[in-house]
Amino acid sequence: MRPVDRPPREAQEVHAERSGRVGAGAFRPAQLLESLPEALRKLDPRVQIRNPVMFVVWVGSVVVTVSAVVSPSVFAWLIAVWLWFTVVFANLAEAVAEGRGRAQADALRRTRTDTVARRLRPGGTVEEVPATALRLDDRVVVEAGQTIPGDGEIVDGIATVDESAITGESAPVVRESGGDFSSVTGGTTVLSDRIVVRITTRPGESFVDRMIALVEGAQRQKTPNEIALTILLAALTIVFLLAVVTLQPMAGYSGAQQSLVVLVALLVCLIPTTIGALLSAIGIAGMDRLVQRNVLATSGRAVEAAGDVSTLLLDKTGTITYGNRRATALHALPGVGEAELARLARLSSLADSTPEGRSIVELCASGFGLAPEASAEEARAEFVPFSATTRMSGVDVTGPDGSVESIRKGAVASVLDWLDACGSGDDRARAHIEAVAQEISSRGGTPLACGHVNGFGRQDDQFHSHGGAIELSDVVKPGIAARFAELRTMGIRTVMITGDNPVTARAIAAESGVDDVLAEATPEDKLALIRQEQSGGRLVAMTGDGTNDAPALAQADVGVAMNSGTTAAKEAGNMVDLDSDPTKLIGVVEIGKQMLVTRGALTTFSVANDLAKYFAILPAMFLVIFPQLAALNVMHLATPESAILSAVIFNALIIVALIPLALRGVRFRPMGSDAMLRRNLLVYGLGGVVVPFVGIYLIDLVVRFIPGIG
C-alpha cells in the first residue's frame, strides 16, 4: 500500500482542519463579536416565539421601552436597555453555537469540488457528466487520480482510496467490491487501480451534504428531553407571571403599588432565563462535539439517547482487542520437536498473506533462524490457498522421488479430519493436539493445527508426522479494563460480542473486564440480545459495519455504523463514524452523558440563581411599607432602584458568562447517578445561590453612583 501523494505539511493542515473544524472545538471570545449581527437578527418576534421563556423577556422589553418613552426616567431607560441586552445575550448563545457549525460547514464545503463523473451507459460506453447530474443506481468509472463523484458502493474492482478530505486521516484505505468494505464517499480520491461505483444517493443528499446541513443546524430538531424541559420552563414562567400579576393588587392594598417597570423587572429575574437562554446552545454544542470527533448523528435524539444508554454491545475485534492475531508460540507433539514444527508452519504460511500467516513466518524466522522469504525451490511448490469450506491452507511439496509432502495449517478439527482422511490419523496425536488447543483457548488464544503427510501410501510412523499446534494471541488493548470499570460505575453494562468459541470468549472477557459475553454470535443472536435488553427498559448502543449488522443497528437505540462499512449498515444506524473506529462508541456515550449533565447542571444553577435575585428585589420593592424586610436585605444594597437594576444587570451578564460552559460542556467524570446528583447540587446548586449574591453586590457598588439610582 503506497503512501498518499501529498506533501507532509499539506496533509497535516488537512487533518488539522478536519479534526479541529477550523477551531470550532475551542471557544474564542472573538466569537461573541463575530456572532453579534446574527444575534441582533434573531430579535425578530417570529424567531423569539420558539423559546417561550425568552419570548416573555422580549415582550417585557417592549413593554418597558414603551413605558420609558411615555414616562421617561433614568431608572426606566436603564432597565429597558438591560432587558434588551438579556434578549440579545440569549440570542448570542445560540448564534455562537450556530456560528461554530457554519465554520465546520465551510470546511466541509471546501472538500467538495465540481467533479466530472464518467457514467457508464447501458452499452458499456462512458459519458462525462457533472456529478450533480448523477441519479440513484447510476454506475460511474473512477480511475487512479480521479475523485469519486458521489456516495456509492463498489460493484467492480479494488482500489486504495484517500479519504483525508472526509476523515482527516492521511493514510489510504482499501475499498473493494463484494464485501463489507465496499462503501465509498463522494469527494474522496482513488489512488490506484480502477473501480466501478454504483451511486446510492440523490443529488444534495450525499454524506457531505448531510453533514453540512447537520452542523449548520438546519436539520436540528429538539430532543424529547429538551422538549420536556422547555415545557417545564414554560410552566414555571406562567406560574411566575401569575404570581407577579397577583402581586400588584396586594401591593396596592398595602399602599405600595409598583410601577410596570419594576413588575417586569421582577418577572424577568424570577423566571428561569439563564437555562432558557442556553438550552438551544447546549443541544447544538452536543452535536458539535460529536462532529469534532468525526461522528455524524442523524439527529439530536441519537446524541441524547447515547447519554441514557445502559447497555453497550462491543465487538471484541478492534474494540476490546487489537484484532490482529499474531503467532506467539509453537506447541510440538512429543517426538516431533519445535524446530520441525517451525519448518512445517513456515512452509504452510509462505503464501499466506493474512496478518496471521505473516506473523507465523516472522515467528519462525526470529525464533528458529529460518528464512523469512521462500527460496527458489520452495517457490516452485504448489501452494493451497485458504478456503472457507476446508478452513485450511497449506502447501504440497514434490520430492525428487516423486513423493508428495503435504502440509496443512488451519482449524484444529479440519486439520485432524484431513489427516484421518489421508489415512494418517492417530488417536494419541488427536487427543494431544485437542488438549493443547483447549489450553490455548482457555488463555484467550486461538489454536491452529499444523500437520503433514510425508508421502501418500507410505508406511511411516504417522504419529510423528502430525506436527503440532500454533498459538495465536489477540492482545487486549491496554487500559480497556479501566474504561469498563468507569462505565460500570456509571451504571452501564458492557457485553462483548464475538464469533470466537465460548472458551476463548470467556478468557478475553475475564481479561478485559466486560460484564457479559455473547460468543459465536450470529446476526440473529445480536438482534435477540438487543430486544431482550430493551424489554427490560434498557437503552442499547452498538457498532457495526456489515450488511448482516443492519437489523441490529436499526433495532439499537444508538447504532454507530462504520464509514468503511456497507451502505445498508450506514442507513440502518443513527450515527456514522467517519474514522471507522469501533472504540469510538464509548466516547459517543460519554459525549451524550456530558450533554445531559451540562443541561442538568445549568438548569440547577438557573433555578438556584433565581433564589438570590428574589432576596435582592422583593425586599427592595416593599422596604418602605414593611421595614421588617430590611432583615432580608442581606447584601445591604443602596436603594430599591439600585437593587432592582443590579439584579437585572446580573441576570443579563450571567448568560454571557455561561456561554463558554454551555458550548464546552460541564466536565464529565464517570460516576454513579447518586454521586453525580450530589456533585451538581453542591457545585451548581450552591454556586447558583452564592454567585448572584456576590455578583449583585459588586454591581450595586457601581450603579449606586448613577444619578437617579443611588
Q: Is 5 annotated as a binding residue?
A: no
Query: In 10 A of CB 110, how many CB atoms?
Result: 12
Q: Is 388 known as a binding-site position?
A: yes
According to the annotation, is 162 in a ligand binding site?
Answer: no
**Residue among 138, 57, 40 at smallest CA distance from 95:** 40
**Contact criterion met (CB below 8 Å) for 20 and 292:** yes
Residue 264's nearest CA partner among 550, 67, 509, 495 is 67
- Determine whether the annotation assigns residue 393 to a binding site: yes
Task: Please check whether residue 529 is in contact with residue 518, taking contact to mean a CB–CB distance below 8 angstroms.
Answer: yes
Q: If we measure between CA atoms, which residue out of 310, 315, 306, 302 comes closest to residue 526?
A: 315
362 close to 312: Cβ distance less than 8 angstroms = no
**Is 160 marked as a binding-site residue?**
no
The answer to whether residues 695 and 650 touch, using CB atoms and an 8 Å cutoff, is yes
Q: How far apart are CA 276 and CA 54, in angstroms?
A: 7
348 annotated ligand binder? no
Residue 254 among known ligand-binding residues: no
Does 387 show up as a binding residue in the annotation? yes
Indicate left, alpha or beta for 494 from its phi (over 0: left) and psi (-120 to 50: alpha). beta
d(CA 543, CA 572): 11
**352 is an annotated ligand-binding site residue:** yes
Strands 139-143 and 158-162: unpaired
- Please name which of 69, 546, 9 lies closest in space to residue 261, comparing C-alpha atoms: 69
DSSP secondary structure code for residue 476 in this structure: B
Count CA atoms within 13 Å of residue 461 on its CB side.
Answer: 6
The answer on whether 390 is annotated among ligand-binding residues is yes
In this structure, what C-alpha cell is assigned to residue 301? Answer: 435524539
449 is in an annotated binding site: no
* 315 catalytic per annotation: yes
Calculate the alpha carbon distances from 195 to 41, 105, 140, 165, 174 in Å. Answer: 49, 29, 8, 19, 12
How many residues appear in the chain? Answer: 710
Distance CA 595, CA 29 (A): 22
* Residue 614 DSSP symbol: H
Collect all residues with Cβ–Cβ distance below 8 Å to 19 and sequence separation of at least 6. Answer: 168, 292, 294
Strands 558-562 and 540-544: parallel
Q: Which of 151, 162, 288, 315 is catalytic?
A: 315
Q: What are the backbone dihedrals phi and psi of residue 410, each rounded to the nearest 5 degrees, phi first?
A: 170, -155
How far is 611 from 604, CA to CA, in rounded Å? Answer: 11
Cell 505473516 -> residue: 358
Number of Cβ within 10 Å of residue 170's Cβ equals 17
> Cell 440502518 belongs to which residue?
572
CA atoms within 13 A on the CB side of 106: 10
Angle CA 130–134–137, to nearest 5: 155
Evaluate whether 211 touches 291 at the Cβ level (below 8 Å): yes
Q: Which residue has the cell 422580549?
A: 58
Task: Determine how many CB atoms are found less than 10 A away from the CB of residue 635.
Answer: 19
Cell triple for 169: 486521516
Question: Any binding-site annotation on 549?
Answer: yes
For residue 25, give the nearest of 108, 109, 103 by alpha carbon. 103
Determine the Cα–Cα distance for residues 349 and 330; give it in Å rounded to an integer: 14
Q: Is 391 annotated as a binding residue?
A: yes
Residues identified as active-site: 315
Residue numbering of the annotated binding site: 352, 356, 386-393, 409, 545, 549
- Binding site feature residues for ATP: 352, 356, 386-393, 409
Residues making up the annotated binding site for Mg(2+) are: 545, 549
